[in-house]
Amino acid sequence: MSGVNVDNSIDAMSRDVVQAIEDKKGSDTLVIHVEGRCSVADRFVIASGRNGRQLVAMAQAVAEVAHRYGLPGKIEGREAAEWLLIDLGDVIVHLFLPNVRDSFQLERLWALPTESGEAES
């Protein structure tokens, strides 16, 4: 598969994940391009939910997207339901309660300046 097709597939999956999160009323959704800066993924999708029940519903919607792409869509962190992670290979989804998201500040961590000096997100 050529790089263009892989990028299009990653972009399409990211869009489908964002749509699934928005359908479950997730908030503050952000897609961070981490290719070249992270060895495990090309995109991080980060979103917040009001409570654990909403986070689980959002995660289940993301898992349905994963299944459409032929991926397992296993949900990690379901027990505590404060930070749920779904690994879709090139796209990793982080779903947080707002206070936990504020605590970890993944956006700030991954919005580091590039070699050109500009911040990427």
pLDDT-based confidence at residue 7 (cuts at 50, 70, 90): low
Domains located in the chain, CATH noted: 3-110 (3.30.460.10)
Residue-wise pLDDT for 19-71, tens only, equals: 999 999 999 999 999 988 888 899 999 999 999 999 999 999 999 999 999 99
Q: Using CA of residue 101, residue 41, residue 43, residue 13, what is the dihedral sign? A: negative
**Does position 96 have pLDDT exceeding 70, yes or no?**
yes
What pTM, to 2 d.p., does this model score?
0.84
Among 45, 53, 46, 43, smallest CA distance to 82 is for 53
Gap between the Cα atoms of 89 and 109, Å rounded = 20
